[in-house]
Structure 1
């Protein structure tokens, strides 16, 4: 169980990291202030600030987020009457505003705020403690920081570094970058897995992987052995071989094989009985040999990735056309259950699972549902068509509806997963 939990944290954390790094990278490239880059949710475990961005790892490994200035509900304006401490640079500009309400600091100038503008004109006006007659005005540095009431320090967000001040193209690319990263990462990991496991399966009758503790393993069959005959039936390709063994569930079966040293010998195996739908077939735990040449292996990695994309897209189409069934969806509980099963199969299967999950997350995030990246991209497209942005009020309402919908769906899916996987 411990291995499953650790694997789940690594798998889920890695995929979230790749996704959020996409948003983070393009926001930085577009000149948007990234307030926070967080992996996980809930209370902070570790935090580190660099170049005005707070990097955090949080307790619950169930997601993550990138907080962009202007894209969130920023409320930096200081209310009149608020007492703050000001730190000035050598030219008299404010470089830090302490609003944490902590004990007086002799190194800070205590100011009772009369009015402020930390987005456009960048100034503070107020009364220095002990002098309530003379209104003082301070220019605030563009990169000044503010310490909020919780003690967290962040950079102020002038209009030019806010999300909505970026060009439409840069906002579109920032929203797209997360899912795009997941798709590219999934393709890369599929290619890596192809080189670890091997390329496309051969159609010949030579053996590749032998399943541990299977009838084939017990009979000392080895990768590279070539099965020439099943009982009296000659086999020249894998389809013939698989069909001949499938017809003999539970029956002692004589195989004629050619070993790696070209010696031909006969061995006896007893195929295990396996249910295949309504049919009963025989299996001995063998796989065909794989092609390990560079070109076919590279192509196989790409093909595996795009096949996964096709499977996920077709599944979504069936959900829309054939009626919604909550069992077709899975949340963190389902991912944990699948991770647990995959972890027991070895690290190679975990790598394939990472690739599949990353592509799945990328495609799901592109769905045009408010609050998902796809919903934000749809608003960008609407803005491009209308040649003016959607009103802030409309955008807030649309995103709120999306959040409520996704929250309700997540609760329903999680409860359904618990019933499916843990309460039989």
Structure 2
């Protein structure tokens, strides 16, 4: 299940990421020399009439599209590029204006975001929008909210100053912030009351034995209902959901960097494979939802301003737009070599982290 789940989620998502680069590049007249699903030795492939080699490679941990003229990590013109005939050079990546190169690079992560939005919008359209009155229907006696003075029947008006329309908005504002202070504004008998207290940090274990740290305040809601939505509202809702997920990712990384969350929560390919298999075992809805989360994750990671990632290229393009000239080829080359070294070191670290978390090794 791990292997099947991993290949079914990562293969298509990486392919559509690279397809985003390819389609926008083709739109701007850039020739693609090869498009590979996977790395390493070619297992099968064909060459289309445009001269692009489409291939399936041995290591199914990613993929790439190789544009004509893209001959070094920094994507800078080289002697080989300068030696090309003018007609061929015009079809290369480096020959295109800055804004077109930026759009080609951004197209990969944007495509991943669009895939996630489409998946979430499909769920919204199929099942509707969850609507739960923002009223405290259940209260844990020794929970943080009860100790602060919140009571059953209180209507939640705002959390941390943000107005609340439905109880389903509250968990996202609590679960990701264990140990943080939180401010609840509630209405009780026509009176507006404010309570400030600390979110309890609780270590939970799911049905698969995975442990994670979550925030809880000890309140629960009453019954809700699913309200049908149209296509436009389904898409708008999915865009907001995607933004909320990205916000939680940023928060999680900040908490790991500052030591508020254990570094063991960082995961790599093995953990993705593990979670993929687990979600696949739960059914297609859980698995497709998980695929949307992974797609957002791929977009988020690739947009980080780290040289060698899409975000690193975009950062250099932004600097070039401001300075009206590109950084020197030597400085870009060193930056991208450093970026590659950092990414490889991070991959090694999270893989070791993943292996150590397996029960086989005492995790």
**Structure 1 regions of 5+ residues with no counterpart?**
75-116, 123-140, 143-157, 204-236, 248-274
Show the counterpart of 1:292.
Answer: 228
Among 175, 180, 186, the alignment partner of 2:116 is 186
Offset at residue 404 of structure 1 (A): 1.1
Show the counterpart of 1:11.
Answer: 9
Offset at residue 325 of structure 1 (A): 5.8
CA distance in 2, matches of 1:58, 1:40: 5
Confirm or deny: 8 A CA contact 1:196 1:348 kept in the other structure.
no
Confirm or deny: 8 A CA contact 1:199 1:298 kept in the other structure.
no
Aligned counterparts, 1:20-419, within 5 A = 20-50=18-48, 51-73=50-72, 120=83, 122=85, 158-203=88-133, 239-240=136-137, 242-243=138-139, 288-294=224-230, 297-321=234-258, 326-419=263-356
Alignment deviations for residues 140-174 of structure 1 (CA, whole Å, 9 cap, x no partner): x96xxxxxxxxxxxxxxx32222111111111111
Offset at residue 335 of structure 1 (A): 0.7
Confirm or deny: 8 A CA contact 1:200 1:297 kept in the other structure.
no
TM-score by length of 2: 0.69
Confirm or deny: 8 A CA contact 1:199 1:296 kept in the other structure.
no
CA distance in 1, matches of 2:100, 2:111: 16
Alignment deviations for residues 377-424 of structure 1 (CA, whole Å, 9 cap, x no partner): 111112112212222222222111111111111011111111113422
TM-score by length of 1: 0.59
Offset at residue 197 of structure 1 (A): 4.1
Moved more, 384-393 or 287-296: 287-296
CA distance in 2, matches of 1:37, 1:293: 39
CA distance in 2, matches of 1:34, 1:27: 8
Q: Which has the higher contact order (CA 8 A, sep 6+)?
A: 2
**Count, aligned residues:** 284
CA distance in 2, matches of 1:70, 1:26: 16
CA distance in 1, matches of 2:303, 2:342: 16
Offset at residue 349 of structure 1 (A): 0.9
The structure that has the greater radius of gyration is 1
Alignment deviations for residues 70-103 of structure 1 (CA, whole Å, 9 cap, x no partner): 22249xxxxxxxxxxxxxxxxxxxxxxxxxxxxx
1:346–1:72 Cα change, 3 Å: same
Offset at residue 318 of structure 1 (A): 3.3
Offset at residue 18 of structure 1 (A): 1.6
CA distance in 2, matches of 1:372, 1:299: 29
CA distance in 2, matches of 1:329, 1:358: 17
Confirm or deny: 8 A CA contact 2:307 2:335 kept in the other structure.
yes
Confirm or deny: 8 A CA contact 2:31 2:92 kept in the other structure.
yes
CA distance in 2, matches of 1:382, 1:8: 37
Alignment deviations for residues 100-132 of structure 1 (CA, whole Å, 9 cap, x no partner): xxxxxxxxxxxxxxxxx996474xxxxxxxxxx
CA distance in 1, matches of 2:58, 2:348: 20
Higher strand share: 1
Confirm or deny: 8 A CA contact 1:38 1:58 kept in the other structure.
yes
Among 341, 344, 357, the alignment partner of 1:420 is 357
Show the counterpart of 1:262.
Answer: none
Higher helix share: 2
Confirm or deny: 8 A CA contact 2:4 2:277 kept in the other structure.
no
3-state secondary structure, aligned to 2:90: helix
CA distance in 1, matches of 2:15, 2:139: 45
